[in-house]
Structure formats: structure tokens, C-alpha cells
Amino acid sequence: MRNLLIIAAFCSFAACANNKGSESPDNMPPTVETTTLFLGNTTCATSGHPTKPENFVEHEGQRAYFCCSKCVASAKADPAAAVAKAYAKPTAVGNTACPISGNDVNSDESVTWQGHTVGLCCARCKKAFASDRAGHTKTAIESK
């Protein structure tokens, strides 16, 4: 037991020394949590209770959220239907600038993700949207 404590003490000291040694001007700034905006459904489509972020099923990059693991278990039988039910009524974000390019939105180009219809400028941005659906949707909402 005593040996273990000594090892633990040594390890934390070594980790500390290591941190100091790795300081360099080339270091990237720490990744900042961009926003805590929750873009999922807040009402469980199965029970009508409030959803929890850790209870979800995913289908093609969209997550349907539920109140409990029991609802998740039953939704897993058909994730596509669960997503469709959770986002039955999409709402337009109404952004005027494409969240990817910053260009004006083209009324023919939009993508609907988790009930948010985001305006885009072109087919290329539509493809790029898939690389970070949540991030681009947040950008569109925040650009308004």
C-alpha cells in the first residue's frame, strides 16, 4: 500500500513536469466548447416527457431524443421512424447567409436537419453541411 502511494506521488510529479516541458508557442489554443445550444427534440415522442441528451437513437446523422432508456430501447427497432416522428414539423431557421460560405442563401438550396431547415447557397455547401451538421445549423441560427 505504501509503495503504491509513492508511485502515485511520483507519477503526478512527473505529469506536472511534463506539462511544463510541452509548453511551446506553436501550441494551438485549447478547443473551446462553442455553444451549449441544444438542437434536438425536447419532448419525448413516445411518452411526452422532457428528453435527456444522453437518451437518443441516430439515423443518417440525425438524433431523436427520448426521456428514458426504455423509450430508446423501443425506438431502436426503427430509428428512421423515430427521427421522422421526433421532427415531424420542421421549422425554417430563416438565415439569409449560408453558414458554410457566408454567401446569400439560394431559395432552391436548403437542408433539413433535426427539424431545422437551414438555407444554403449551393449544392457544394449542401454536401459540406454533412461534415458538421450541428455546427453549421448553430452558425445559421446564430447568424440571424
101 binds Zn ion (CB under 5 A): yes
SS3 127: helix
72 binds Zn ion (CB under 5 A): no
Count of Cβ atoms closer than 10 Å to residue 39 Cβ: 15
When the beta carbons of 43 and 101 are compared against Zn ion, the nearer one is: 101
Query: Taking CB under 5 A as the rule, which mask of x and - marks residues 110-139 in contact with Zn ion?
Result: -----------xx--x--------------
**DSSP one-letter string for 52-88:** -TT-EEEETTEEEE-SSHHHHHHHTT-HHHHHHHHTS
Binding segment toward Zn ion, per CB under 5 A, in 2-10, 30-38, 82-90, 101-109: 101-109
Select from 47, 74, 91, 96 the one that contacts Zn ion (CB under 5 A).
Answer: 47
Containing 6, the helix (H) or strand (E) segment is helix 2-21
Binding site for Zn ion (CB under 5 A): 47, 67-68, 71, 101, 121-122, 125
